[in-house]
Structure 1
Amino acid sequence: MESAGDWCLIESDPGVFTELIKKFGVKGVQVEEMWTIDDGIFENLRPVHGLIFLFKYVQHEEPSNPVVTDDRIQKIYFAKQVINNACATQAVISLLLNCNHPDVDLGPELTKLKEFSMSFDPKMRGLTLSNSQTIRGAHNSMAQQTLFEFDRKLPTKDEDAYHFVGYTAIDGRVYELDGLREGPIDHGPVGADQDWLNVVRPIIIKRINTYTEGEVHFNLMAIVSDRKMIYERQIEELLNENNMLGMETDDVENEIRRLKMLIEYEDAKMFKYKQEMVRRRHNYLPFIITLLKVLAEEKKLVPLYEKAKERISKKCQKKLKV
């Protein structure tokens, strides 16, 4: 679609997705990476508003559960993906626009998008999203700096493609939001005493197990409430409780100290994310060329190459002996 322009590929990284959400103008949330899908993994991250799952895309794969095409589509924000490379942003936006948690402030851009396009069918929603200059600009600002420009080539038949989808609970049922489908995939109800995350865990595990043994190209991230905001709220509650009771205990002081340490950790993590984003966007090519010129002028380039070749050879020999 010409009017939507080019959309870049996005790295599956919690820092990238957290910065992307901030670029949309959304407040009160961040993205955390899940290193495992074991029971209890979400305990320290609640509330979890949605899961973003990256997997190797298989053409013509049929969904294991029914695709929603009835009246529910009017209440669930689902947008068809109508442009290449937009699946990461569509997964995130679909999860956010289906979230009604008080922690989540959508901001003016996504609020306007939801109000404007909620009455549209999924394809028209996808077209509206793809033509948003703000959303496309935020998406493309996450692109890594490329050292060299290559002519575009058509994807080959054997080339692996990867795809992002979202999982969330809406009105007591778990849905998979995949922009390449005709509608949300209904994965069934969440019991009255159940947590939706306990329902979705076996669904994701089953999906991973359908791939060949040794396949490791999966990534799972969670959209959660801003951790710093949560910890600050907990400190405020403890202080208010202390003021009402008129007494302080060692347990309360220790808990406040622990929460302050967690806040410091979150500040350090967000600072690291910003540094990594700067590095992703920085063009290191002039530095590399200058360094190679200096090394060549000082006649150090060939000796360094020979030394590196020798080290690689020794490592290979060591591995062969083992």
Structure 2
Amino acid sequence: MSGGWNTIESDAGVFTYLIEKLGVKDVQFEELTALDSDEIQSLGTTYGVIFLFKYPTGEAPSDKPKDGTYDHDAANNLFFAAQTIQNACGTQAIISLLLNREGDVNIGKDLKEFKEFAGEFPPELRGETLSNSDLIRETHNSFARSSPFIDETQRTATEDDDVYHFIAYTSINSTLYELDGLQPAPISHGPCTPSDFHTKIIPVLQRRIARYPESEIRFNLMACVKDLRIRAREIGDEDGLEQQEDKRMQWLWENSLRRHNFVGFVGELLKGVVKAKLEAGGGAYDKWVEEAKGRTKKRREEARKQGIVEE
């Protein structure tokens, strides 16, 4: 692989503009604040959800999942890719969801070609193909938060780290599937049509969250829905359309901030503040330097007396 995958945030604006940059049309993400079927239904056409949770490291592998059943036939018949790298599970979950809803969703030329190329591979090779896709990796990385201190491509988790994982849930062929690249196959949670999804998904998520202590609240749930501006235009909801357009502008602004490293700016700002203070004090600069030299000299003399040699 020609490059690494950086960490991106679980954020509706990040996910929405990421898939738009990949060529997906008329789809957006909305953060869900409660496990409420009515809230999901209020969003209109829903293609699935992306769930973020703390991954239980150290668990022994099992022949069957804790909830639902493995559908090994679906591992080859659906687009199911094994997760082969760190930091890309969010994008992988999103792409798995969308590629399995092609027909309902316009996934665009690039993802359609990717699906046609990788679709006949076994899950492990699909995962390798996804992780080696320059287009998908570069698009993903363009939404990573800029940092001058951490090379995310070299970071590996330790046993003491909190590790978080993304998975997708969607209705495919009238079955509710859990798509988790760390599992050996898609997990079936029973019959579910797209129109039933908002009610069938809630108990599945409730059972999953119930596995954790009551004090654990670090979960995030994103709904993948039809662009809410389309419905607002169709029903003539001018206020709703304006709200959605304002939200898009806010997302654009936040995404632009993520791409910038502000350390240099802050450094120049501090230098400007110091310069202004010194100029206001006349010859304060020279005095400040001499005082600093004096304190350093005094500290070294005291250290020598105590037998400490400073480098």
Scaled to the shorter chain, the TM-score interval is: 0.7 to 0.9
> How far did 1:154 drift?
4.4
Counting only pairs closer than 5 Å after superposition, residues 24-103 of structure 1 correspond to structure 2 as: 24-59=22-57, 60=59, 62=62, 63-64=65-66, 65-70=68-73, 72-102=74-104
The alignment partner of 1:195 has SS state of: helix
- Tell me the amino acid that sits aligned with residue 12 of structure 1: S
Q: Distance in 1 between matches of 2:247 and 2:204?
A: 30
> How far did 1:141 drift?
0.4
The alignment partner of 1:220 has SS state of: strand
Which of 242, 265, 285 is the matching residue for 1:287? 265
Counting only pairs closer than 5 Å after superposition, residues 161-200 of structure 1 correspond to structure 2 as: 161-190=163-192, 195-200=196-201
* Unaligned segments of structure 2, at least 5 residues: 279-311
> How far did 1:94 drift?
0.3
Bigger Rg, which one:
2
Look up the match of 2:252. 274
- Tell me the amino acid that sits aligned with residue 75 of structure 1: N
> How far did 1:173 drift?
1.0
Look up the match of 1:242. none
Q: Distance in 2 between matches of 1:14 and 1:32?
A: 5
Contact 1:147/1:284 (8 A) holds in 2: no
How many residues were matched structurally?
272
Contact 2:38/2:198 (8 A) holds in 1: no
- Tell me the amino acid that sits aligned with residue 17 of structure 1: F
Q: Distance in 1 between matches of 2:150 and 2:214?
A: 36
- Tell me the amino acid that sits aligned with residue 117 of structure 2: F
Q: Deviations over 1:287-313 (max 9, x none)?
A: 21112122223449xxxxxxxxxxxxx
> How far did 1:28 drift?
1.2
Q: Distance in 2 between matches of 1:150 and 1:286?
A: 18
Look up the match of 2:205. 204
Superposition RMSD in Å: 2.0
- Tell me the amino acid that sits aligned with residue 24 of structure 2: V
- Tell me the amino acid that sits aligned with residue 128 of structure 1: T
* Unaligned segments of structure 1, at least 5 residues: 236-255, 301-322
The alignment partner of 2:268 has SS state of: helix
- Tell me the amino acid that sits aligned with residue 16 of structure 2: T
Contact 2:37/2:198 (8 A) holds in 1: no
Q: Distance in 1 between matches of 2:2 and 2:231?
A: 37
Q: Distance in 2 between matches of 1:277 and 1:117?
A: 30
> How far did 1:123 drift?
0.7
Look up the match of 1:219. 220
Contact 1:4/1:130 (8 A) holds in 2: no
| TM-score normalised per structure 1 | 0.80
